[in-house]
Structure 1
Amino acid sequence: MKTLARRLGFYVVALWAAVSLNFLIPRLMPGNPVDIMLSKLAQHGPVTPATRQSIELLLGADSGEPLWKQYVEYLGQLLHGDLGISVSQYPTPVTTVIAQTLPWTIGLVGLATVVSFVLGVGLGTLAGWKRGSWLDSFIPVTTMFQSIPYFWLALILLYLFGSVWMISPLNGGYDVYDTMPGWNLPFIGSVISHGILPAATIVISSVGGWMLGMRNMMVSTLAEDYIVTAEAKGLRPGRVMRTYAARNAVLPSVAGFAISLGFVVAGSIVTESVFSYPGIGSALMGAVGSNDYALMQGIFLVITLSVLGANFVVDLLYAVIDPRTRQRG
């Protein structure tokens, strides 16, 4: 319980620090969302001081208030679930924008991250167990794909499968002309067909790192005394590989997977930009371009919560995988 309490205390402090930085950083950027909104309104007629004041109150960007008071109001809004109004998608609330884009990113990047981790760890386990096999020799090829710039790999796949062979759609998250969003087979099929190529880009570019890391840890673990003892007892090779070798070799990969899983919410900005995918990464790009710091703050807050939550879950999972972590507490 003491270990759990210390970890909870650490994550609470980390959350407060992240929320404070989330408040400060957008306000240190050049530009003002109120001025952006007023410039749009000025195209339709003169803007009065009363209009400016009402927009400042609406966007929570009253430049006349001291920073500490804005910070207190910001914390109060967070406690009530109010993230403000998006300037780039005015008058849509930030919570609505996040709710519309977050499922797309979780479905695409989250599933692709899990697939690449499971596939990489599984193949890395076999490659480390059977050193010198064809699978072990195939690892340099997978790491080569990891070294290719992310956007370049996405463009190559998009050109080959979208333009040359025309197997996959070129952009978007679904067919906006022939399908109606909802839980129906045409829409689900369209979402899957539009997501296969972006997901393949993520898997191809990341599976090599998981394979290489797991393979190296397997080679190191197989030299431990307890592996030799298990083999001397006459245990089946499959049991030695899974229960003794892989279970201990996977620990560093689990820690890396926690970080990757936490940043799933951030989305793959490059992938979503290349494929024009309607995820939260595209929303973040639009918010940065429009100085929409209400939307930026909301997205950064969701990213922070996801990263801290994923790491906390993996901390608990570590105690199940490696009992030694419980003994240290």
Structure 2
Amino acid sequence: MKYYVRRITFYLITVWAAITLNFVLPRLTPGDPAEIMLAKLARSGVQITDQLVRSVNLLLGGATEGSLWDQYVNYLGKIFTGDLGVSITSYPAPVVDLIAKALPWTIGLVGIATIIAFILGVGLGAWAGWKRGTWADNLVPATTLIQSIPYFWIALLLLYIFSVKLQWLPIFGGYDVYSFANPELSWAFISSVVYYGFLPALTIVLSSVGGWLLGMRNMMVTTLAEDYITTAEAKGLRPRRIFTAYAARNAGLPSIAGFAISLAFVVSGSIVMEQVFSYPGIGMLLIRAVQGKDYALMQGIFLVITLTVLAANFLMDIFYGFIDPRARQNG
């Protein structure tokens, strides 16, 4: 019980620190959200009055009113009520609505691509470790070489080959905007999403499968040297059973732990990849917020990413404490 209390306390403090940093850091950058919005209104011919200035500050959630402490207390209160403010780059859209629209695109694309990369990497890594010393080991340097290439270069290369030269796949976007005015739940729309998301997903898979493969292959080699594998072979068990029930099952535990953490980072998406493909996910939304100095939107995105990563780590700590008593003793 002490282990769980310590972990819960630790993560509560971490969440508070993350929320505080999320509040402070954007305010250390040059610029002011209200001034930016007022400058945009002035360029469009709107007369700036004191009443308009007060209205803009109010619409932005009071982001620039009062002392820094008053802003901080106001910020905490709005977070617990689900109010993350109003975006100035997409005024007057609430930040929560913008994140809610972009989040499914990133989770769907990056999440599925991460799962595919994990299954391929772990499966091929287990096989390469089982067939160590044969031609199967050539998979390791090949996939590691691909992983060492910046993934935006892979994205540009895939775009050039399949979109520009062969014209098999679209260059940008998340779906066919000419056929669908808005996202809808239909097979035609889902097919369009898969068609437009194939290249971005392929980029993520090619960029990440090498890490899973290398890690699983090394763990398989280590596991195969264990005494219980030798005992299983001495008992005359079938090689297939030794591979699945003894070697791969135990060698895959670290990969499963890493996979749980990698799923947390799915929410952050692949920012550069989404920029290359103009994919309507969290990455594109974050870039737009940074370029427009949209404090409220930046804070909302960072908060969602941070809380997701912390939640994944917390669940993994609880899970390990449940299955491994040594973790509770050392935690």
TM-score, normalization by structure 2: 0.94
- d(CA) in 2 for partners of 1:13, 1:84: 24
**2:295 is matched with which residue: 293, 296, 307?**
293
- d(CA) in 1 for partners of 2:42, 2:324: 63
Structure 1: which 5+ residue stretches go unaligned? none
Tell me how far 1:224 sits from its aligned partner: 1.7
How much identity, in percent, do the aligned residues show? Answer: 62
State the match for 2:276 in structure 1.
274
- d(CA) in 1 for partners of 2:325, 2:224: 20
- d(CA) in 2 for partners of 1:319, 1:235: 33
- d(CA) in 2 for partners of 1:195, 1:62: 37
State the match for 1:305 in structure 2.
307
- d(CA) in 2 for partners of 1:145, 1:71: 45
- Asked if 1:35 is matched to 2:50, the reply is no
Tell me how far 1:62 sits from its aligned partner: 4.6
Tell me how far 1:68 sits from its aligned partner: 1.3
Greater mean alpha carbon deviation, residues 209-218 or residues 62-71: 62-71
Q: Give the AA of the match of 1:283.
A: L
Structure 2: which 5+ residue stretches go unaligned? none
Query: Does the CA-based 8 Å contact 1:247-1:321 persist in structure 2?
Result: no
State the secondary structure of the residue aligned to 1:266.
Answer: coil
- d(CA) in 2 for partners of 1:97, 1:27: 21
- d(CA) in 1 for partners of 2:22, 2:126: 40
Greater mean alpha carbon deviation, residues 144-153 or residues 311-320: 311-320
State the match for 2:55 in structure 1.
54
Q: What are the equivalent positions in structure 2 for 1:162-173 lying under 5 Å apart? A: 162-173=163-174
State the match for 1:138 in structure 2.
139
Q: Give the AA of the match of 1:50.
A: Q
Query: Does the CA-based 8 Å contact 1:85-1:94 persist in structure 2?
Result: yes
Q: What are the equivalent positions in structure 2 for 1:153-168 lying under 5 Å apart? A: 153-168=154-169
Tell me how far 1:168 sits from its aligned partner: 0.9
State the match for 1:225 in structure 2.
227
Change (3 A) 1:315 1:231: farther
State the match for 1:65 in structure 2.
66
State the secondary structure of the residue aligned to 1:182.
Answer: coil
- d(CA) in 1 for partners of 2:317, 2:234: 33
State the match for 2:185 in structure 1.
183
Q: What are the equivalent positions in structure 2 for 1:119-134 lying under 5 Å apart? A: 119-134=120-135
Change (3 A) 1:155 1:248: same
- Asked if 1:104 is matched to 2:128, the reply is no
Query: Does the CA-based 8 Å contact 1:77-1:83 persist in structure 2?
Result: yes
State the match for 1:22 in structure 2.
22
Change (3 A) 1:119 1:316: farther
Change (3 A) 1:259 1:195: same
Query: Does the CA-based 8 Å contact 2:3-2:329 persist in structure 1?
Result: no
State the secondary structure of the residue aligned to 1:36.
Answer: helix
State the match for 2:150 in structure 1.
149
Per-residue CA shift, 1:262-308, capped at 9, x if unaligned? 11111101110000000010000000011101001100111012111
Tell me how far 1:323 sits from its aligned partner: 6.4
Tell me how far 1:133 sits from its aligned partner: 2.8
Runs in 1 of length 4+ with deviation above 6 angstroms?
Answer: none
State the secondary structure of the residue aligned to 2:178.
Answer: coil
Question: Once superposed, what is the RMSD of the aligned Cα atoms?
Answer: 1.8
State the match for 1:243 in structure 2.
245
- d(CA) in 2 for partners of 1:158, 1:321: 45
State the secondary structure of the residue aligned to 1:298.
Answer: helix
- d(CA) in 2 for partners of 1:18, 1:233: 54
- d(CA) in 2 for partners of 1:249, 1:7: 27
Tell me how far 1:131 sits from its aligned partner: 0.5
State the secondary structure of the residue aligned to 1:105.
Answer: helix
Q: Give the AA of the match of 2:30.
A: P
Change (3 A) 1:325 1:129: farther
State the secondary structure of the residue aligned to 2:313.
Answer: helix
State the secondary structure of the residue aligned to 1:284.
Answer: helix
Q: Give the AA of the match of 2:16.
A: W
Change (3 A) 1:189 1:254: same
Tell me how far 1:84 sits from its aligned partner: 0.3
- d(CA) in 2 for partners of 1:319, 1:118: 26
Tell me how far 1:81 sits from its aligned partner: 0.4
Tell me how far 1:250 sits from its aligned partner: 2.2
Per-residue CA shift, 1:120-167, capped at 9, x if unaligned? 011101111110233221221111110111111100001101111111
- d(CA) in 1 for partners of 2:211, 2:28: 36
Tell me how far 1:65 sits from its aligned partner: 1.3
Q: Give the AA of the match of 1:254.
A: I
- d(CA) in 2 for partners of 1:212, 1:328: 29
TM-score, normalization by structure 1: 0.94
Greater mean alpha carbon deviation, residues 212-221 or residues 61-70: 61-70
Tell me how far 1:249 sits from its aligned partner: 2.0
Per-residue CA shift, 1:157-212, capped at 9, x if unaligned? 01101111111111000000013521112111100000011000000011011100
Query: Does the CA-based 8 Å contact 2:65-2:71 persist in structure 1?
Result: no
